[in-house]
Amino acid sequence: MIPFRNLRQLLSMQAKASPEKLFLAIHQPGSETQIISYAELNARAHQTANLLQDGCGLMPGQTLALIDDQAADVAVILLACWLIGAVVVMVPLHDEAQVVSRLGDEVITVGIVRGAERTARLRAQLPDLPLLQIGGAAVDDWHFDSLVARLSNTFFNDAPEPSLESPALRLAGHMLTQRDVIEAAQTVAQAHAISGNQNLLSSTGLSGMTGLLPLLVALLTGSSLTLALHHDPAGLFRQITAARAHVAFVTGSELEQAVQFGDAQQTAGRAIYGDGLYQQDIRQLRHFFCPPHHLTTDLLRRFTDRYGQFILTGAVDAAGRYQTLMPIDWTWDAYRHWLLKHAPALCLGCPVTPTVDAAAYHSESDEAGRRVVYASS
Query: Could you tell me which of 319, 329, 331, 323 has the C-alpha nearest to residue 355?
Result: 323
pLDDT band, very low/low/confident/very high, at 144 (cuts 50, 70, 90): low
Q: Which domains does the chain have, with CATH numbers?
A: 38-171 (3.40.50.980), 230-375 (3.40.50)
Beta strands at 34-37 and 22-27: parallel, antiparallel or unpaired: antiparallel
pLDDT band, very low/low/confident/very high, at 370 (cuts 50, 70, 90): very low
What does residue 82 show for φ and ψ, rounded to 5 degrees? -75, -25
Does 207 score more than 70 pLDDT? yes
Segment 8-53, tens digit of pLDDT: 889 989 999 999 999 999 877 667 788 899 999 998 898 889 888 8
174 to 89, 169, 208, 211, 315: CA distances (angstroms)? 10, 8, 11, 16, 15
- Quote the radius of gyration of the chain (alpha carbons, Å): 22
pLDDT for 69 equals 58
From CA 236, how far away is CA 129, in angstroms rounded? 40
Segment 250-266, tens digit of pLDDT: 988 889 999 999 999 99
